[in-house]
Structure 1
Amino acid sequence: MHLPSMTARGKGQARRAAKGRTVAAVARAGFVGRGVIYLLIGALALRIAFSDGGGRQADRGGAVAELADRPFGNVLLWLLGIALAGMALWRLSEAFFGQAGPDGDKPGKRALSGARCLFYCFVSYSVLAYATGDEGSGSGSSDRQTKDVTAKAFDWPGGRWIVAAAGAAVLVAGIWIAGRALLRKFHKRLRISEMPRRVRRIVDVLGVFGGMARGSVFAVAGGFALVAALRHKPGEAKGIDNTLRSFADTGAGPWLLALIAFGLAAFGLFSWANARWRKL
């Protein structure tokens, strides 16, 4: 007789917990962790632009390996992995209870939060696995992984078209990310009115520049996957590292890659601004 009210009360408690201080704190820690990764990728890409990069890959694996080589690197990896797990937990709460804002309960947005939760679960696991000694888990080459996955997909029935569709989806997603950044759509996610004027201007620059650079990398990576599928050459698919290196092969030489590198670092700083000003 009291079961419906108990169920409703339990759901209410769960929703309050998802919107409470603890989940907000781990979400903000997650944005800090994401910022660290993008700052390191940007620094590695800049190093590659004007040298050989010191043997590092400008991708998440390279960032993890770079962090591991710093003083107290293992401790830093644990902190990073835990922070990213916090991001996954926050995205899970959004999937169940909706995002912040008036339209946060839309099924599409909740599904997107669920997909982001799975992504950050994987990233967090790979970083923590690396911290425990499984170096192949956290620092694997994104280029090798991309080519291996593409080659395996080509063996599936219709695999070539699956890869083409995935590449097209990533390309469109990259354009979408860059477009939203250019239009400053991130304003509705941040507590803009609470920022000092100078901070607001800086965050605007970081959000636009960083988002456009990030979107460009995704779009170009998706384009390579699409071309690889159309040509039936899995080796032409590129991970983040080789995608970034391709910017240096243009007529602008290393300067375009340097610009993208600064943009990715800007997105890292923008992630830190989210840690402070994001609506949760």
Structure 2
Amino acid sequence: MNTVPRPQEGARAAADAADTAVEDVAEHPVFEAVARGGFVMSGLVHVLIGAIALRIATGGSSQEADQSGALRAVAAAPGGEVLLWIGGIAMVALTLWHLAEAWIGARWKEQGRDRLKHVARTLGKAVVYGALAGTVLRFAAGGGSDSGEQTSQLTAGLMGNAAGRAAIIALGLVVISIGLFHVYRGASRGFEDQLRVPPGRTVARTVVVTGVAGYIAKGIALLGVGMMFGWAALGADPEKATGLDGALKTMAELPAGGIVLAVVAAGLILFGIYSVLRARYAPM
């Protein structure tokens, strides 16, 4: 006797088919290899930001110590645009991989707080890598922008009323929270579960050193960015909210700021090396 499938059964079958398709794509060796390249591109950007910040600390550079400055340096190098296209595509793949992880986690992970944390964390990573992918591809296509100027323009549009300034303060607090999380993750070595490194090897020690120093340095940099947002909102001065470049250059102007900035810059370079190691040892 033929039976007509119930609507909920059809929806469940469609969802199961979507799950299978997402898993097949996410686990395909070629897609995985391209996505791992996104970690390399992210690492290169952090290394270049750190190198620019190091030159600023010694008074030898006027470049922007942020994504725009790093990508502008890549674009100006021989073959730089080709490298940006490759890196941008790899970062798009990495973004899609995190979105697939969020989908699979939402469907199959156990109910409750663990599933919610997994989905939120994975979606957050997808947003970060997706934003960087868009920036890389803009530079690859010959475009680009000044991150600090864009940030100032954005905050300037919100300075006209109390609600806008409150939103900027809230954004600053979010960035500060992310910075504190990075510092905690580095100090507690909570990043080690992100990589599967064979124990007892030199690379395992390298992961620890680069991860601890890198996460703490990036956290300090983000703390500076968050405080600049708060300073801009309280003083109704959007010029103070210039993103990472402004935060690092302000750091250099503090007493012994050159030394502090040099340490943070070295940490950002180490974070870039850690990101490259993720390309090899991150479980995917």
| Same fold? TM cut 0.5 | yes
Which of 73, 77, 91 aligns to 1:66? It is: 73
Which of 140, 149, 162 aligns to 1:144? It is 149
Where do residues 1-280 of structure 1 align in structure 2 (5 Å cutoff)?
Answer: 1=5, 3=10, 4-5=12-13, 7-53=15-61, 55-98=62-105, 106-134=115-143, 137=144, 140-155=145-160, 158-192=163-197, 194-280=198-284
> Could you state the TM-score of these two structures normalised by the residue count of structure 2?
0.88
Asked whether the 8 Å contact 2:221–2:244 carries over to 1, the reply is yes
Question: Distance in 2 between the 1:142 and 1:106 partners?
Answer: 34
- What is the distance in 2 between the residues matched to 1:124 and 1:273? 19
Provide the aligned C-alpha RMSD in A: 2.2
SS at match of 2:65: coil
Unpaired segments of 5 or more residues in structure 2?
A: none
Deviation at 1:247, TM superposition (A): 2.0
CA distance in structure 2 between the aligned counterparts of 1:105 and 1:13, rounded to whole angstroms: 24
Which segment drifts farther, 235-244 or 254-263? Answer: 235-244
Amino acid aligned to 1:15: E
Deviation, structure 1 residue 217:
0.4
Q: What 5-or-longer segments of structure 1 have no aligned partner?
A: none
Task: Name which one, 1 or 2, has greater alpha-carbon Rg.
Answer: 2
For structure 1, which segment, 226-235 or 17-26, has the greater mean C-alpha deviation from structure 2 after superposition? 17-26
Number of residue pairs aligned between Structure 1 and Structure 2: 272
Distance, in Å, in 1 between the alignment partners of 2:76 and 2:15 is: 50
Going from structure 1 to structure 2, the CA distance change for 1:210 and 1:7 (only over 3 Å counts) comes to: closer
1:269: how far off?
0.2
- Per the TM alignment, residue 20 of structure 1 is displaced from its structure 2 partner at its CA by 3.9
Q: Deviations over 1:216-260 (max 9, x none)?
A: 000111011112222322222231111111221122141211111
Query: TM-score normalised to the size of structure 1?
Result: 0.89
Q: Percent identical across equivalent pairs? A: 34
* Runs of 4+ with >3 A deviation: 2-7, 102-105
Maintained 8 Å contact 2:240/2:246: no
